[in-house]
């Protein structure tokens, strides 16, 4: 599984959380980042190697780890 998260440079006082505060936590591996001309930042994540089952392999890329919010 892979996830793309887009961060917009806009401040809101309230919002909808991306992830639930309950349930299992999954470590994510940052694969790539992109800065778009409008100031938006795109973050591309995959499930971290330690979270994969034996028959899956992690994509190659940046080794930085990130936690879901």
Express each pLDDT in 12-48 by its tens digit: 777 777 777 887 888 899 999 999 998 899 999 999 8
Tell me the C-alpha distance between 1 and 11, whole Å.
29
Higher pLDDT, 45 or 65: 45
State the pLDDT at residue 65: 42
Average confidence (pLDDT) over 6-10? 85
First to last CA, the chain: 17
Whether pLDDT at 8 is above 70: yes
State the pLDDT at residue 62: 42
State the pLDDT at residue 16: 78
Name beta bridge partners: 2: 46
User: Which strands sit side by side in the sheet containing 41-47, from one edge to the other?
Assistant: 2-7, 41-47, 28-35, 65-66
């Amino acid at each position: 599984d892979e996830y793309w998260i887009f961060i917009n440079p806009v401040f809101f006082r309230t919002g909808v959380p991306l992830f639930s505060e309950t349930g299992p936590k999954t470590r994510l591996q940052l694969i790539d980042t992109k800065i778009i001309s409008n100031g938006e930042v795109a973050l591309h994540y995959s499930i971290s190697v330690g979270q994969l089952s034996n028959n899956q392999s992690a994509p190659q890329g940046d080794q930085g780890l990130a936690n879901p919010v």
